Amino acid sequence: MKNAKYFLERAKKVIPGGVNSPVRAFGSVGGTPRFIKRAKGAYLYDEDENCYLDFVGSWGPMILGHSHDEVIRRVQDACQRGLSFGAATAAEVEMAELVCELVPSIELVRMVNSGTEAVMSAIRVARGFTGRDKIIKFSGCYHGHSDGLLVQAGSGVMTAGVPDSLGVPVGCTKDTLSARYNDLDSVKAHFSRCPEEIAAVIVEPVAANMGVVLPEEGFLEGLRKLCDAYGALLIFDEVITGFRLAIDGAQGYYGVTPDLTTFGKIIGGGMPVGAYGGKRQIMEMVAPLGSVYQAGTLSGNPVAMAAGMAQLTILKEHPQYYRELNEKGDRFFGNIERLLRETGHPWKVNHVGSLGCLYFTKQDVKDYESAKNSDTELFAKFHNHMLEQGIYLAPSQFEAVFLSLAHTEEMLGKVLEAITIFLQKI
Ligand code: KE4
């Protein structure tokens, strides 16, 4: 057996940081990233055959659990017919029809290969449709790594976006304005200052990249009203919440309709799929119909469509799964809150449906500023303890816990036991 350290040393010789996405390097929690060999249901197995109860779920896609038999079968079946054609296929039509059926605000939808691509394209469409350049995003929200969105979180209301990554020219972020999540006044301030320049407001309807921060009463509705008042588009980035909170995502769960929606993760069933879509009048801007250009060699890839269609079809045909998943989440995160209270630990748990986060702070967490109050060193100790207990959490305080239909009450009970041991240790 080769262990994680062996693989990490090998990986670092040929991959930046030894990983293909930074958070996987365990940088903020220390320790050695596990090299996963296989997964089934709620479990991951690393190269040493160590077994972990998984609460990352590939960062959201695996809502049915890993290696769901029907999803695997549909993918294997598609593989037999060829991996990629670079041509139109019936599978793409079926996927688009299904997305439009499941999400009423979507009249036209375009498949791409990642959430980043979906968001980048949706913003381009919003700019093309409105003829405006500026966008508003929220500090602490993450929308993928396209240049214009890598903006220093929290750059003030009066200052244009400042790049948050080397290699991003200021020109790419000067039209990106930052506002504060759950603070409509911070959005109004931007609109008041440049009433006819803002193409869109993009928001995670549940912010799941600063831990999990829920929209306060009236926040999403307020964004809808402001966009209508100033002629801007409202973009819901549902890469995480899409098909997770409900079959029609956070927009269905909260009853607020965006003009454009971006998807990723669950829509691909574990394969690389992103999508963006919305009202016909807006999406007709997209080439070859309109003049907003976007393209992709593997967009609508038939094998990826098979995986996504399989997963979405299972979710559509079992509407009770969402009630089951959301009730499971309420019980699980509620039990953690109760445990903290009973043991005199004042930390905060934010959760909605199958998404949640334990913050090591005594203050309510309702935006990026308050999320940053969390004790990340204590989180690192917590993460390492849970890993030792065979429980695989996202290696960052500012990610989410993802529950799946494969998590049983017995498994969730083991998590509470592990947390109890941790609370006794500290
Ligand atoms: P991808 O390009 O990673 O498929 O999607 C980007 C993206 C867009 N919008 C939201 C709301 C997202 O959460 C993401 C990506 N999520 C992270 C996890 N928080 C992906 C994990 C990673 O970066 O390794």
Q: Whose CA is nearest to atom 5 of ligand 1?
A: 115
In this prediction, residues 387-405 reach a mean pLDDT of 97
Q: Whose CA is nearest to atom 1 of ligand 1?
A: 115
pLDDT confidence of residue 154 = 55
Give me the catalytic one of 46, 54, 137, 142: 142
> Does residue 156 register a pLDDT over 80?
no
Q: Give the whole-angstrom CA distance, residue 248 versus residue 105.
A: 9
Q: Give the tens place of pLDDT for each residue, 46-63.
A: 999 999 999 999 999 999
Q: How far does the centroid of ligand 1 lie from the alpha carbon of residue 241, in Å?
A: 11
Nearest to 41 by CA among 60, 68, 76, 61: 68
pLDDT confidence of residue 161 = 79
The percent of the chain in helix, strand and coil, each rounded to the nearest 5, is 40, 15, 40
The structure's pTM equals 0.97
Q: Crossing angle for the helix pair 302-317 and 69-80, nearest 10 degrees? A: 150
Cβ neighbours of 231 (radius 10 Å) = 13
Of the pLDDT bands very low, low, confident and very high (cuts 50, 70, 90), residue 152 is: confident
Of the pLDDT bands very low, low, confident and very high (cuts 50, 70, 90), residue 160 is: low
Give me the catalytic one of 134, 137, 265, 366: 265
Q: Give the whole-angstrom CA distance, residue 294 versus residue 124.
A: 9
Give me the catalytic one of 237, 248, 259, 367: 237
Q: Percent of the chain beyond pLDDT 70? A: 98
Q: Which residues contact 226 (CB under 8 A, 6 or more apart)?
A: 184, 187, 188, 191, 201, 232
Q: How far does the centroid of ligand 1 lie from the alpha carbon of residue 39, in Å?
A: 21
Q: How far does the centroid of ligand 1 lie from the alpha carbon of residue 107, in Å?
A: 24
Which position has the higher pLDDT, 1 or 143?
A: 143
Q: Is 175 designated active site? A: no
pLDDT confidence of residue 163 = 86
pLDDT confidence of residue 155 = 52
How do strand 260-263 and strand 108-112 relate by DSSP bridges?
A: unpaired
- In DSSP terms, 179 is beta-bridged to 138
Going by the DSSP 8-state scheme, the letter that residue 255 receives in this structure is T
> Does residue 112 register a pLDDT over 80?
yes
pLDDT confidence of residue 140 = 95
In terms of phi and psi (left: phi > 0; alpha: psi -120 to 50; beta: otherwise), the region of 388 is alpha
Q: Is 183 designated active site? A: no
Residues with C-beta less than 6 Å from any ligand 1 atom: 21, 23, 59, 114-116, 119, 142-144, 204, 209, 237, 239-240, 264, 274, 399
The atom of ligand 1 lying closest to the CA of 22 is 24
Contact 425, 341 (CB under 8 A): no
Q: How far does the centroid of ligand 1 lie from the alpha carbon of residue 421, in Å?
A: 32
- Residue 292 CA neighbour count, 13 Å, CB half: 19
In this prediction, residues 119-146 reach a mean pLDDT of 97
Q: Give the tens place of pLDDT for each residue, 276-292.
A: 999 999 999 999 999 99
pLDDT confidence of residue 159 = 61
Contact 45, 37 (CB under 8 A): yes
Query: For residue 162, what are its two tokens?
Result: 């400042």
Q: Whose CA is nearest to atom 23 of ligand 1?
A: 21
Q: Which residues contact 73 (CB under 8 A, 6 or more apart)?
A: 310
The atom of ligand 1 lying closest to the CA of 141 is 11
Q: Give the whole-angstrom CA distance, residue 316 versus residue 404.
A: 16
Q: Give the whole-angstrom CA distance, residue 225 versus residue 53.
A: 43
Q: Where are the beta strands (DSSP E) in 360-417?
A: 391-392, 401-402
Of the pLDDT bands very low, low, confident and very high (cuts 50, 70, 90), residue 2 is: confident
Q: What is the mean pLDDT of the chain?
A: 96
Check whether the bond before 319 is cis (ω within 30° of 0): no
In this prediction, residues 226-249 reach a mean pLDDT of 98
Q: Is 237 designated active site? A: yes
Q: Percent of the chain beyond pLDDT 90? A: 96
In this prediction, residues 2-25 reach a mean pLDDT of 95
Q: Give the whole-angstrom CA distance, residue 333 versus residue 255.
A: 24
> Does residue 25 register a pLDDT over 90?
yes
Q: Give the tens place of pLDDT for each residue, 171-228.
A: 999 999 999 999 999 999 999 999 999 999 999 999 999 999 999 999 999 999 999 9
> Does residue 275 register a pLDDT over 70?
yes
Q: What is the dihedral of CA 60, 305, 111, 100, to 10 degrees?
A: -90
pLDDT confidence of residue 162 = 82
Q: How far does the centroid of ligand 1 lie from the alpha carbon of residue 344, in Å?
A: 35
Q: What 3-state class would DSSP assign to 233?
A: strand
- In DSSP terms, 358 is beta-bridged to 349
